[in-house]
Homo-oligomer: A and B are copies of this chain.
């Protein structure tokens, strides 16, 4: 267990982080329970919820997937009635993806259910640990973006 880090520990920290990250993500992905929305789909819905209507390209860049992969996700979400494709006002090549009313509702609802167990786990941690986790959030984001 590492609780202090200096330069020499960075490779060890990297190795441990990689394993812990993969295992935690796997655990998270399994927690879709009985619901029909996948973790990736929910992430896209959340992005649209925060950012408003966006182009597939912008969403794909944020999600770190290739455009064809996102097309699939969007088609699935559209079939569920959660997003809609609307024409871009100025550029005929582009498409704007927007949440439908059901999409907005789904974000709130699914999140509250999906995050329930995670919030439960987090509530078992000490305030110090949660604060550390909040700081680590930024680190995780920068890892994703690097």
List residues of chain A with CB under 8 Å of any chain B CB.
Answer: 1-7, 10-11, 13-30, 39-40, 42-43, 46-47, 62-65, 111-112, 114-115, 117-119, 121-125, 127-146
Contact = CB atoms under 8 A, between A and B. Distances in A.
A76 to B, nearest CB: 16
A115 to B, nearest CB: 4
Number of copies of this chain in the oligomer? Answer: 2
A13 B129 CA distance: 12
A143 B31 CA distance: 11
Interface of A is mostly: helix
A19 B43 contact: yes
Contact of A144 (B3, B23, B112, B137): B23
Contact of A135 (B7, B42, B132): B132
A40 B14 contact: no
A118 B13 CA distance: 9
Contacts of A39: 18, 22
A144 to B, nearest CB: 4
A117 B146 CA distance: 9
A62 B20 CA distance: 11
Contact of A22 (B14, B29, B111): B29
Given A16-B137, A21-B25, A22-B43, A4 B115 contact: no
